[in-house]
Chains A and B, each alone.
Chain A
Amino acid sequence: MVESSGGGPAAGKVSESGAATTDWVWQAGPRRYGRVFLTFVRNSLVRAMGFRTNFWLECISSSCWTLMNLFFFKIVFSYTDSIGRDTGWGENEFFVFLGTTWIITSLIQTFIMPNAQEFSELIRTGQLDFALLKPIDTQFLVSFPQIVWSNLANLALGVVLVVYAVVRLVTTSEVPLVVGPVQVGLYLFFIGCGLAILYGVMIAMAATSIWLGRNQTLYTFWFYLTNFYRQPMEIYQQGWVGWTLWGLFTFLVPILLVVNVPARILAEPLRPAVDSWTWVLAGMALTAAIVVLSGSRWVFQAALASYRSASS
């Protein structure tokens, strides 16, 4: 979020007639970003409260869907002890993975997805005009205004599942898991990296509607993507089809790193220590987060330069 300075007269200056052009001093500081975001939070809450029944129905239906997901894997683990041979993804390790998926998906659906979709709509209808007029970073302004609070229900479920599975791993595992502040810190940090990757992919895809005119496949595409990142990456490491998908979703569209890295760091499927491969993946996740974020920024700016606005 770089403030543009220079290229024009200083702000808040005195006009030719001698009268102050404004009655206060304009500071293009980063502090207002926090304030604006809090206003988004507040306005979204006020709106959610305005449709209370809808809010609770959404909470319940998405929680039910998520719990059915859990029961499905409960059934899977009644047939097998782990996902793949010698991968270390036993039931509890996998539930850490599953809980992490819920947490990340829920955060994306609460904060990112509604805005990415709305962004496409803003472009199509020409409402993006208003975002471009405001003296604040446009990418920030279109990325966060809508927050769908009901989607946070799954975040709570995810946290509960992760805590439950970690406690089981610490107390009942043959090789007990050791969890301290470092592990938790790294776990949260790489969840952040995962969110950054997904945010970058989504916003860049949404920005392409400036050239394509219409981009209603965004939501469908999101489902394709989530289908791939919901599983430990080991399941792809078999046969040429599997390895191709693995390569594609690790290097080209690095969504396999999103859940795998934090889940591996916390659950340590190959205990007693985090294996070196996990650290390689972690390095890749961090790099991917930086590359995808800056790439999406570039796509966004390029798209805005070609914005032609819809008819009045």
Chain B
Amino acid sequence: MPLIEIEKLSKHYQVYQKQEGLWASVRGLFRREYRQVTALDAIDLQVEKGEFVAFLGPNGAGKTTTLKLLSGVIHPTSGSCRVMGYVPWERSNHYRRRFALVMGQKNQLWWDLPAQESFRLHQHIYQIPTDVFQSTRDELVDLLGLAKLLRQPVRELSLGERMKMELTAALLHRPEILFLDEPTIGLDVVAQHNIQQFLKHYQQTRAITILLTSHYMKDIEALCQRVVIINEGRIQFDGSLAGIVDRFHQERIVSLRLADSTSMDELAAYGRITKLQAPQVQLRIPRAEVPTSLAEILNRFPVEDVSVSDPPLEEIFAHLFSSGHSGGGGNSPREALELGATELRSSGPRDAETESRRGLLREVRR
């Protein structure tokens, strides 16, 4: 049985439409116009124990709403959901002690007190025996490098340090499911990396289930095996990260450095040139043609260095979620997804996917 089972879950909000101007405001005191906003539109989803799932989507897509429904903070408009056998919004204490929610934009620790005091409050709320509490806390504090900060009031911590404290507080009761809503938002690269490393390690050692929403591709690339793309309240893709790359990246980026740049223009025969800065040139070649085209290029041109990579994930998402595309081009987001990101300019190759240049050169020349 899946750990999380969602069926036809919908959430609509009534939003007050405020009109411009004083007279409209006065009228609004007596009669108000409401607009219905669909945050979630009949989504189905199943998550197995031990999965690390990322929710991806633009602002207002329904990612956070999903997490809030799963944690029982809000009630749905329709549909059903069971997490570990519980209906979340019944808010049973037995359910609530078995998961945790961390929100990057909200702070649950006592602002004027050291985090240590908030931890103790959690100990009593969750009734954690003192020995379990101490060993869990010490382990987390050690993993996140927080020992020196425990006695400092929370208001004096940096954003990254505070986030680590929030994570510690959320994990003290050893939850089986962790909901993370943009845990790395606003953090610098180092802090982001630290938190990613921690989450990865913790999820692997404890085999807990994690659902994460994030805007940072780096988070998702580093952590998740499974990606759920939500847009306008609907699930548009559910599968592996590699699946997205295979499905939507119909081109690969080939970057070359030539010893002699006189005949550079001729490269256009093999693909679309996206960057031309002699002696560097970057072109996009259809995925299936890469081996043959590359072999020919290496034979015909004085290539000094070469690398092949996938276009960055950001690019495909930017394309999928840009309203300009779905509106102006007449394509729905779904259609946009089918089309893939073929028209966009590259913003640089993905480091993680960059193959060893020399190795590739050797292989192709053979």
| A residues lining the B interface (CB < 8 Å) | 3-5, 7-11, 15-17, 21-24, 26-28, 32, 35-36, 39-40, 42-43, 46-47, 50, 125-127, 129-130, 132-136, 138, 141, 305-309, 311-312
**B153 close to chain A: CB less than 8 A:** yes
Q: Which of B177-207 contact A (CB under 8 A)?
A: 181-182, 207
- Please, how many angstroms separate the alpha-carbon atoms of A135 and B84 in the complex? 15
Listed by A's residue number, 15 A-B pairs whose Cβ atoms lie within 8 Å are A4-B90, A4-B93, A7-B90, A7-B92, A8-B84, A8-B92, A8-B95, A9-B86, A10-B94, A16-B49, A28-B93, A28-B94, A125-B106, A132-B72, A141-B125
Q: Are A21 and B106 in contact (CB under 8 A)?
A: no
CB distance from B251 to the nearest CB of A (A): 35
CB distance from B30 to the nearest CB of A (A): 16
Given contacts A7-B92, A136-B125, contact A43 B71 (CB under 8 A): no
Chain B neighbourhood of A135, CB < 8 A: 93-97, 125-126
Other A-B pairs, 20, CB within 8 Å; known A7-B90, A8-B95 = A4-B92, A7-B86, A8-B86, A8-B87, A9-B84, A24-B132, A26-B97, A28-B94, A36-B121, A36-B125, A127-B106, A129-B101, A130-B106, A132-B72, A132-B73, A135-B94, A136-B93, A305-B75, A311-B64, A312-B181
- Please, how many angstroms separate the alpha-carbon atoms of A204 and B103 in the complex? 28
**B354 close to chain A: CB less than 8 A:** no
CB distance from B336 to the nearest CB of A (A): 25
**B345 close to chain A: CB less than 8 A:** no
CB distance from A198 to the nearest CB of B (A): 26
Instruction: Report, as a range, how many residues of chain B touch the other chain.
Output: 35 or more
- Please, how many angstroms separate the alpha-carbon atoms of A126 and B108 in the complex? 11
Q: Are A126 and B127 in contact (CB under 8 A)?
A: no
Chain B neighbourhood of A26, CB < 8 A: 94, 97, 127
Chain B neighbourhood of A130, CB < 8 A: 106, 108
- Please, how many angstroms separate the alpha-carbon atoms of A127 and B166 in the complex? 14
Closest to B86 in A: A8
Q: Are B49 and A17 in contact (CB under 8 A)?
A: yes
Q: Are B100 and A133 in contact (CB under 8 A)?
A: yes
Please report whether the interface of chain A is mostly helix, strand, loop or mixed according to DSSP: loop
Q: Are A309 and B68 in contact (CB under 8 A)?
A: yes
Across the interface, A32 reaches (CB within 8 A) one of B112, B125, B174, namely B125
**B353 close to chain A: CB less than 8 A:** no
- Write the B105-129 contact mask toward A (1 if CB under 8 angstroms, else 0): 1111010110001001100111111
Across the interface, A39 reaches (CB within 8 A) one of B86, B106, B121, B207, namely B121
Closest to B94 in A: A11
**B13 close to chain A: CB less than 8 A:** yes
CB distance from B131 to the nearest CB of A (A): 9
Across the interface, B85 reaches (CB within 8 A) one of A9, A36, A47, namely A9
Q: Are A126 and B49 in contact (CB under 8 A)?
A: no
Chain A neighbourhood of B90, CB < 8 A: 4, 7
Across the interface, B129 reaches (CB within 8 A) one of A10, A24, A305, A307, namely A24
Q: Are B132 and A23 in contact (CB under 8 A)?
A: yes
Across the interface, A126 reaches (CB within 8 A) one of B97, B106, B121, namely B106
- Please, how many angstroms separate the alpha-carbon atoms of A32 and B255 in the complex? 63
Q: Are A21 and B73 in contact (CB under 8 A)?
A: no
- Please, how many angstroms separate the alpha-carbon atoms of A125 and B106 in the complex? 9
Closest to A8 in B: B86
**B51 close to chain A: CB less than 8 A:** no
- Please, how many angstroms separate the alpha-carbon atoms of A308 and B97 in the complex? 22
Closest to A17 in B: B49
Chain A neighbourhood of B182, CB < 8 A: 312
- Write the B51-87 contact mask toward A (1 if CB under 8 angstroms, else 0): 0000000000000100010011111000000001111
CB distance from A207 to the nearest CB of B (A): 16
